[in-house]
Each structure stands twice: as C-alpha cells, then as structure tokens.
Amino acid sequence: MTTQVAVTNALEVSELRVHTLAGSPVLKGVSYAIAPGEVLALVGESGSGKTTAGLAALGHFRRGLAPAGGAVTASPRDGEPVDVLGLGERERRALRGHTLAYVPQDPALSLNPALRIGRQIAEVLEAHGYGASGEERAARVAEVLGEVGLPADENYQRRYPHQLSGGQQQRVGIAMAFACRPSVVVLDEPTTGLDVTTQTLVLRTVAALTAEHGVAALYITHDLAVVSAIADRVAVMRGGEIVECGAAEEVLRRPAHAYTRELVDAVPDLDGGGGLPEPDGDTETLRVTGLSVSYGEHRVLRDVSLTVHSGECLLLLGESGSGKTTLSRCVAGLNEHHTGTVELAGTALAPSTRRRTAEELRAVQYVFQSPYSSLNPRRTIAQSVEVPLEMLTELPKAARRERVAETLDRVRLSRTLAGRLPDQLSGGERQRAAIARALVTTPKVLLCDEVTSALDVSVQATIIDLLCELRAELGTAMVFVTHNIALARHVADRIAVLRGGEIVETGPVGDVLSAPRHEYTRELLANTPRM
C-alpha cells in the first residue's frame, strides 16, 4: 500500500504498547493504518494480542491492561483527527458508537434480550444525538436495517432478539454499529459460531457496507479462509507484534514471514490433503441402523443408518442442530433415549453405558469437543488418563501406570506433563491428553466430536495429523464429527452429510466433494471460503 499519508487514513495506530498492570508486555509496539472503505484483517492465534490490538482502536483496554505508549488516531467523518488515547473517559465514550463502532463476537450475548430490535438500534442513535427528531431517527433505523439486508418494516422491528436466527442477530449487531455512520468499525470475529452459509451472508453484508459508506473496517479473526474472502489487507500478529502486513492476496499466496507460511499451510483446504492411509476395509466394526431420537414433538434424529469399517474414517458433517453430536453420543452410550440399534462387530450394544460390558465400553471411546471442559480441573493428566483403565480393566496399579505412560508417548505428550493439572497445559496439549484417555484402552471405534473446533489452526493441523497416524497405527475405526467440510480430505475416507437429523448424502470423500448429489452439500461447498 502506498497511500500511507496520515490525512487519508480513518484510523491510525502507531507504536502502540500495552502492558498488564503487573508490567509484562502484551503488545510490543503495534502499528497499523486503515483507509476509508478498506478492510484490514488482524489475524493471529489465541494469545497473539489481536483482540487487544483491535479493541485499542476503540480506546478500550480490558481489565488488567493499560496502554504504555504509542498513539491511536481516529478521523471522524466531519472534523479533525482525534488522539483517542489522549481523551478522557467521557470523550472516549462519546466517540465510541459515533465515530468508532464495534461488532462483538457473540450477538446473542450482546443484544439486550428484553428490548425489541428496532428500539435497540434507536437507542444507539439517541445516545449519540443522531438526527434532530424521532422521525428522523426512526427513518435511519429502517434505513440501516435495509442496508444489512433485513426487512425494515414495523413488524420486524418489533421482534425480540430471541425471535431471530444467529445470522440475523449478528446483522442487527452490525446495523447497530453502522447506525451512526461511523468512520471506523472494529469487528471481533463476528462470524465465529455461525454456519458457513450464514457466514457468507454476513461477510457480504460487511464488505458491501464498508465499500458503500467508505468505512474503515478492522476485522479481527483467526480464520485465514475468511480473511481471503473479505480483507483488502492483512496484518498477521504473533506474541504481541505484527510479523507481516500487506495486501491480502500477497500475504496469503506468497507469505514472506515463516510464521505466516506456517499458518497458511495449517489451514485445512477443501482441495488439499490426501495421502491418507488406505483402510483395510474388510471388517465392519460399527453399524448403526434405524437410529431415531426425539424429545417430545421435536425429532432430533430420523432413522439414521451408517457403517464404519476398521481402519476407516467417516466424516460426519453437519451444522449446529443437525443432530451430529446426539448421534455420536447415542453410539457412545451417553444418550439412552433412542430407538434403533448400534452394533459393534455384529453384537448389539445396550443404549446406556451402565448396561454395557467392560469389554464393550473399552471398544467404543469418545473424545469431547472442548479440552477445556472434558478434563477434571482438579485431577492431574495422569489421573484422568488412568480412569478408563481403573474402571474397565483388572490391571494392577503398576501396569496401569505403564500403559498411561505409553499412551502419553503415543499422543506425543511429554511424560513430564503427566503430573500437571489441566489448567497448566495449552489447549493442544489438553486435547492430546483427552485423546490419550480415549486411546488408553485401545478402542475399536473412536468417536471424535468436533475435537478441533476449540483449537487454533496450527494446533488443529497437528491434532489431525496425530489422529491420522494413530488410525494407521492402531487400525481404529474413526467417526470424525465436524461442521467444517474443509477438513474432509485431511482426515476422512468417507463422508456422511447430516441435515435436520437425516443423512442426506453419503459416499467416498472424493466423490462427494467433486460431484455432490444433494442440494445442501452443493450449497455448503459453494459457501465454504477457500484460500
């Protein structure tokens, strides 16, 4: 970018340093600038300081953090550039929402559940004295709702947030941010938690609004695929510093910094992957027939059937609410309210773990989505990994210890971490420990429920590699539950697409990805952002 002249930039952050109150640095001199109408993506993994750097643009610092040098300059639409950090709290608040706007991560948490959405948007306008009269403000509310692609009529404005879908809620959040015609908008991972189709819609809305109204947008995200879809420029952050900054196309195609390259390589790509071990495929390990689950009138699963062979990986793909977790929990024996049968190598399994034999329990193992909640915070890693052996085998203590140590080696987790508590480990290490717990009984079927969705991309890549290696080593049949179709070629041999509790399409990965038969699969593929 050559247009680095101070006057043209809507937002300029220079040499910003932020320390914790204890004095350890969080940002070590971060500089970036955004021109009107431009989208700058601030990319980084958890702990890189991207959120701190983004919120600093609003003059906001989370509790426990304080600025320690540098400047943030924002240019309102009509007026002189303002030094945001030099202002008092009262002036800063006046600036926020008016000149600097913010779109939070989770719209469900940030909208007031007791206020109708029209009222909620009007409140922003009133707080900042936008417009001369009530009618003018009402007109602006209708206009901004139209701009984000929502119906602007009275009826719609009278809805409460819970009557909207996640994507609609997020667009209301965006409408609130754009209501006062700000010159800078900070978006904090606004599409995390939305399914891909909705994500595409929200991204388009943001792109259109920023271009149309000449708003400078700072888009904080960890998802490089999203970056390529929306950003003009990218700043890659690591350890409180910007390691690379440039045009999005340039940075993603030809990363100059080693870390950026690492990140780009770790992103699962729809077309990438391959080179998976060939499953031996002759023995049918898991067979699910006619599985249905309903809670009252609501049917979560309808007559689902699938099979997995030994050494094979089935990708169970579905959006939130598709019933994919319910399905895997039924197989694991954690959900006993189902009809239909789950067979393990020809023998039917009882619906509840309480009535399964120790051998059956050892054979089917489950890895939970979030390693932050699946390990007891008050027990050490070794203790947690030992539990299945303790409950399901007759092994003496010494033999159990030995098995735990072997399994920790197997998941490439240092034995020195065995005595630690979960909160002393990183997310990736915790997930390895959780996988070790599932593998310690050498199961025949391993159910992985969104095991990478709580992890950073580079960690996700290592966990997926690990799972693939283990599958080849142990010949375990694997069911990999996910919402991310981009992972398909990286982990799975076959795909089953779950929608509204029904399997709408199933087949080998290559076939499904290259020639999807069902409308829904086609839509998913079209909306998945590619690098």
Q: Which residues bind another protein (CB under 8 A)?
A: 332-334, 353-354, 356, 358, 361, 365-366, 368-370, 373-379, 384, 387-388, 391-392, 421, 423-424, 437
Rounded to an integer, what distance in angstroms lies between the CA atom of residue 376 and that of residue 382? 11
CB 463 within 8 A of CB 451: yes
Sheet holding 347-348, edge to edge: 298-309, 284-295, 339-344, 347-348
Helix ranges restricted to H, 356-477? 358-363, 381-392, 397-410, 427-439, 457-474
Q: Supply 71's token pair.
A: 């400047």
Which SS3 state, helix, strand or coil, does residue 499 take? strand
CB 496 within 8 A of CB 316: yes
Q: Supply 128's token pair.
A: 């900042």
Q: Supply 416's token pair.
A: 């020195």
CB 479 within 8 A of CB 448: yes
Q: Quick one: 375 or 413, whose CB is closer to another protein?
A: 375
Residues 6+ away with beta carbon under 8 Å from 47 = none
Cα distances from 261 to residues 160, 244, 267, in angstroms, run 44, 10, 10
Q: Supply 489's token pair.
A: 């070629």
Minimum distance of another protein from residue 449's CB (angstroms)? 9
Beta-carbon count within 10 A of 151 CB: 13
Q: Quick one: 424 or 514, whose CB is closer to another protein?
A: 424
Q: Quick one: 439 or 492, whose CB is closer to another protein?
A: 439
Q: Quick one: 90 or 378, whose CB is closer to another protein?
A: 378
Which SS3 state, helix, strand or coil, does residue 233 take? strand
CB 508 within 8 A of CB 525: no
Q: Quick one: 380 or 506, whose CB is closer to another protein?
A: 380
Minimum distance of another protein from residue 437's CB (angstroms)? 7
Q: Quick one: 29 or 104, whose CB is closer to another protein?
A: 104
Minimum distance of another protein from residue 262's CB (angstroms)? 28
Minimum distance of another protein from residue 328's CB (angstroms)? 12
Minimum distance of another protein from residue 369's CB (angstroms)? 8
Minimum distance of another protein from residue 331's CB (angstroms)? 11
The length of the chain in residues reads 531
Cα distances from 295 to residues 51, 342, 470, 477, in angstroms, run 40, 19, 36, 29
Minimum distance of another protein from residue 335's CB (angstroms)? 10
Q: Quick one: 329 or 471, whose CB is closer to another protein?
A: 329
Minimum distance of another protein from residue 432's CB (angstroms)? 15
Q: Quick one: 361 or 468, whose CB is closer to another protein?
A: 361
Minimum distance of another protein from residue 260's CB (angstroms)? 29
Which SS3 state, helix, strand or coil, does residue 498 take? strand
Q: Quick one: 219 or 368, whose CB is closer to another protein?
A: 368
Rounded to an integer, what distance in angstroms lies between the CA atom of residue 348 and that of residue 25? 58
